[in-house]
Structure 1
């Protein structure tokens, strides 16, 4: 059943559902993406066939049981092996950040988030509007009631500001990628009993080009992913026994709150089913009710800070910069 559900979700993720819903946003680019998926998939299948033929022709290229031995060794390595993987991910991220992306913000989203990070690093939430905004205005940058600030939720720029303080905004992404790899490895160890499958999943995530390039950038996707993986790992720990673990449940909420401070909608997609699951488990006794309440307290801390920043910038706690700029 779990495999069937995973297959259904994977298929739905590849379908242009937005194009089938009347009104609202569409996906006019879908046909181009589909062509890329088909051609890329054909190349991957072709490479796999060639590799299979080569291994059959020259068996010394890949010895029987090699992957199993490597996976078992990784499993026995425990947390040290996962830390080693995280170190490898940092190294890859640093190389890509410098060699490919020049350790600079390139997309307008990155540029404005770094701009906001530098404002935060000075101890301010906004800059006073200049006398001649025509010389400093930019897309995604608001001039709102005499205040200049970026449109993005405060969490992402706040994390980049840590890099600003040490003169290296580019390091935040690789560090977040390494944290993602470590957390994912710890989570997979808990949910997948087969070492070979577990290690394959971890490596597929850690060195996937999409993850590597986003992690080397200054976009906020990887920091959000790190927070969501932390929440997933804490949730696994909090609900693994007959009695819920309140401290882990608190960290579930805290991590989801951090994710919400970076990308609110993405966090909501995880937080709503998580809250429903914890609430459902509440029928099993007091410890589960305490866990639900603890997770709520955890969420409240970073979200309250986010709302306070919104109020300071736009005058309304529930009006984000991007809503003020583009509307609801």
Structure 2
């Protein structure tokens, strides 16, 4: 009977692994698809990276072949060993500095050489315009005399029957761009947050699944084209992601240690994320809250920190009211 049960267990395990592989492949295929495919071809809608299915598959296969070659070639074995020792045995802080700095330089290159340091969409153009309004010491501007000729999606004005000119988006992104506007380099602000996102991801991965996973997560994020392109824009995706990673990290540490400062950090980070992308912050906040509820005993033990997090989160959300 034990032999039969063992065989059944092995068969079940193989089936589950097979289903997992099939599911992963399906997700990979879906991640390469954009738009109305397969009913219509995808042309990328003007994005700087080709998003057609054919181009995505070819690039993915090329990356896979190159990765297998680097992993298999015997002549590269000493270099692989050195890279592995450096990545997995160096102090975490050093890895964060190196990968975070590399990410910043890479993203700054994308911002300058691909986007010329300029906004790419009307969304980030509106945020940059609002940052310049802040830099002038104002919250809004009066509608110009011929306001009907002054119109940009994302800015409120005469075209919207609005009494003054300002962005229609939350102020977080414009406030982030403000130091860059004052220094004359607003295009560097998102690359900076991109580097910080990589560093924070390393720490979060280490807290959740160990040092090896955290460092690999940071390395994979550094090589992500999606993160790289967004980090070269003036858009709010990357700073929002960074704040939510910090929030999640603080919650993990709060439940482990019970220290109030982690609750303060969690609430402040989530409240700040609300000032960038409120709906994104809400969705991720619900997921994090469910994780806290699952560990309700630890949450009760750290109730002061949880209360501080809730109060600061509510305060951050109330700023949008």
TM-score, structure 2 as length reference: 0.78
3-state secondary structure, aligned to 2:275: helix
Task: Indicate whether 1:113 and 2:127 are aligned.
Answer: yes
Write the distance in 1 (CA, Å) between the matches of 2:30 and 2:278. Answer: 24
3-state secondary structure, aligned to 1:239: helix
User: Pick from 61, 78, 88: which aligns with 2:76?
Assistant: 61
Instruction: Summarize the Cα distance change of 1:5–1:229 in structure 2 as closer, same or farther, 3 Å threshold.
Output: farther
Task: Indicate whether 1:218 and 2:218 are aligned.
Answer: no
Write the distance in 2 (CA, Å) between the matches of 1:44 and 1:15. Answer: 13
The equivalent of 1:177 in structure 2 is 194
**Residues 88, 211 of structure 2: 8 Å contact kept:** no
Question: Where does structure 2 lack aligned partners over 5 or more consecutive residues?
Answer: 1-12, 44-50
Write the distance in 2 (CA, Å) between the matches of 1:6 and 1:198. Answer: 23
Write the distance in 2 (CA, Å) between the matches of 1:219 and 1:296. Answer: 27
**Residues 275, 292 of structure 1: 8 Å contact kept:** no
Deviates more, 1:83-92 or 1:176-185: 83-92
1:190, distance to aligned residue in structure 2 (A) = 1.8
The equivalent of 1:322 in structure 2 is none
**Residues 181, 202 of structure 1: 8 Å contact kept:** yes
**Residues 224, 263 of structure 1: 8 Å contact kept:** yes
Write the distance in 1 (CA, Å) between the matches of 2:140 and 2:25. Answer: 42
Q: CA RMSD in A?
A: 3.2
Write the distance in 1 (CA, Å) between the matches of 2:107 and 2:59. Answer: 26
1:191, distance to aligned residue in structure 2 (A) = 2.2
The equivalent of 2:289 in structure 1 is 275
Instruction: Summarize the Cα distance change of 1:146–1:5 in structure 2 as closer, same or farther, 3 Å threshold.
Output: farther
User: Pick from 160, 163, 169: which aligns with 2:180?
Assistant: 163
Write the distance in 2 (CA, Å) between the matches of 1:139 and 1:36. Answer: 27
The equivalent of 1:126 in structure 2 is 140
Listed as ranges, the matches of 1:192-203 within 5 Å are 192-193=209-210, 195=212, 197-203=213-219
Question: Where does structure 1 lack aligned partners over 5 or more consecutive residues?
Answer: 17-26, 308-316, 318-328
The equivalent of 1:325 in structure 2 is none
Listed as ranges, the matches of 1:242-253 within 5 Å are 244-253=258-267
The equivalent of 1:240 in structure 2 is 256
Greater relative CO (CA pairs within 8 A, separation 6+): 1
Write the distance in 2 (CA, Å) between the matches of 1:130 and 1:100. Answer: 33
3-state secondary structure, aligned to 2:302: helix
3-state secondary structure, aligned to 1:148: strand
1:46, distance to aligned residue in structure 2 (A) = 5.0
**Residues 254, 260 of structure 2: 8 Å contact kept:** yes
Write the distance in 2 (CA, Å) between the matches of 1:5 and 1:251. Answer: 36
